[in-house]
Structure 1
């Protein structure tokens, strides 16, 4: 009886906490709900602040396709292609860099890593002009390489992999070296499987950043055939009159892939961020 009473008392004490968390959850989810509801309404209803579902979803979708002359699906395909390629290259390059910074011993590696971290203090806008000059001289404009090259190796991702590499058991590496296993096999057959949670977390972050990128693709992608989804939505809104319902439908199309990726990998994402290794 005493245990039941204590349990009931604890549950009663947690009621205000649950109420507070429910309110915070509703506030967080409301923008997503409003975006979905606005995509089904006319522009005037959206401007008036309507939060109920309308019957204009099919009409807005037809307008969405016609307004940009059929570039919706090509923009979606470009965003998928660019984001996936950048995610693969970033995981490969940054994981090798983080692995080397943590598990190989050298006197100058900490100084080099400190210089690398200083690059995080430089705004991306400050490097945009020289990067554009390099990409232009290399004749890579309107290509996937123009999109992914500046983001393949980032100080944040290298630091993230280095911090998680500290959980990699060094005894396993030493035993593998004694057995004559090459360094590349140690990396791919032992390090990568153990660090799969951090790979999932890094994949989510990289994919979302690449998918939502707007400024850099706008600079290097002048051809409409190479435009991405954020550029597509910006083109919808650029006019004398803005159809808010159609714009919100475009935003919904742009948001669904990143939400899907996050929900699929949310468990691994949490494990990778906290630095846990299984």
Structure 2
């Protein structure tokens, strides 16, 4: 009985946390009027909403663009940031500590302050409306470098020395010994990067000047740009856009928790 208040509190908190997700799913099956009336029961308008969505927007193209950008960003960020974090810790020096401090200070600079120079740079290189323009500014983030650096502190130095004695090159030590050991950290970084890239709206909106290159957040914004918003269609688009991030998180959930706690330690 002593734990009953705690269980009741956690149950209420869980219900409140899941209610927005439930309302999103239910609203995707209702008409716009039902959504505005806060109807909490499923309706029969799902396929009608889907037909309107496909008629108004290029859903397949937006999903493909978002997937391509998110996957490319995730793979590139994992490769670059893990190498950087590994190098900062394994080849440790005071100069590298000062450089890491500068990188951490860069986290305090808002993206809005660098957005215009970045746009001018990619415009001068004729890279607007390309995947490269969206991916490059986000493949090396100080947070991920710090995450891998902290995780590398738990990587035994004896393994590195044993690999060197066996004749492995530094690249082979990283690829064959470090990467398999740090799989939880890679999973945590993959979840963080994929979700951030998938939900990114501002920079793709600025640099993807061609409407054919729109992503899912841009598609959702376009659905609210008219004089009248069909909220049933809008909630269906939000639901579809949420599915990839939900799938990625639940697939890597256990490794995500292990990677975060391992980095903190």
Same fold (TM over 0.5): yes
* Alpha-carbon shift at residue 178 of structure 1 (Å): 2.1
In the other structure, the counterpart of 1:41 is 30
Q: Measure the CA separation in 1 of the matches of 2:92 and 2:61.
A: 47
8 Å contact kept, 2:147–2:263: no
**Which of 12, 16, 22 pairs up with 1:23?**
12
Report if aligned partners of 2:148, 2:263 keep a CA contact under 8 Å in 1: no
Provide the C-alpha distance between the structure 1 equivalents of 2:152 and 2:68, rounded to a whole number of angstroms: 29
C-alpha contact (below 8 Å) 1:197/1:276 kept by paired residues: no
Provide the residue aligned with 2:70 in structure 1.
83
Q: 3-state SS of the aligned residue for 1:28?
A: helix
Q: Which of the two has higher C-alpha Rg? A: 1
Matches within 5 A, 1:105-184: 105-184=92-171
Aligned to 1:198: 185
Give the deviation of 1:175 after TM superposition: 1.6
1:246 & 1:186 partners in 2: Cα distance?
Answer: 51
* Aligned equivalents of 2:261, 2:135: Cα separation in 1: 27
Range that drifts further, 114-123 or 133-142:
133-142
Offset of residue 276 of structure 1: 6.8
Q: Are the aligned partners of 1:38 and 1:46 in contact in 2 as well (CA < 8 Å)?
A: yes
Query: 2: distance between equivalents of 1:276 and 1:125?
Result: 29
Superposed, 1:183-222 pairs within 5 Å as: 183-222=170-209
2:247 equivalent among 236, 247, 260: 260
Distance in 2 between residues matched to 1:275 and 1:123, nearest whole Å: 28
2:80 equivalent among 93, 98, 102: 93
Asked if the contact 2:204/2:215 (under 8 Å) is kept, the reply is: yes
Q: Quick one: which of 40, 52, 61 aligns to 1:51?
A: 40
Partner of 1:32: 21
Could you say what secondary structure the match of 1:181 adopts? coil
Unaligned runs of 5+ in 2: none
Secondary structure of 1:139's counterpart equals coil
Find the counterpart in structure 2 of residue 67 from structure 1.
56
Q: Distance in 2 between matches of 1:183 and 1:248?
A: 50
User: Is contact 2:205-2:218 (8 Å) kept?
Assistant: yes
Question: How far apart are 1:79 and its partner, in Å?
Answer: 0.5
Q: Is 1:238 equivalent to 2:196 in the alignment?
A: no
TM-score, normalising length from structure 1?
0.93
- Who is 2:235 aligned against? 248
Q: Equivalent residue of 1:49, what SS? A: coil
RMSD: 1.1
SS in 1 for 2:2: helix
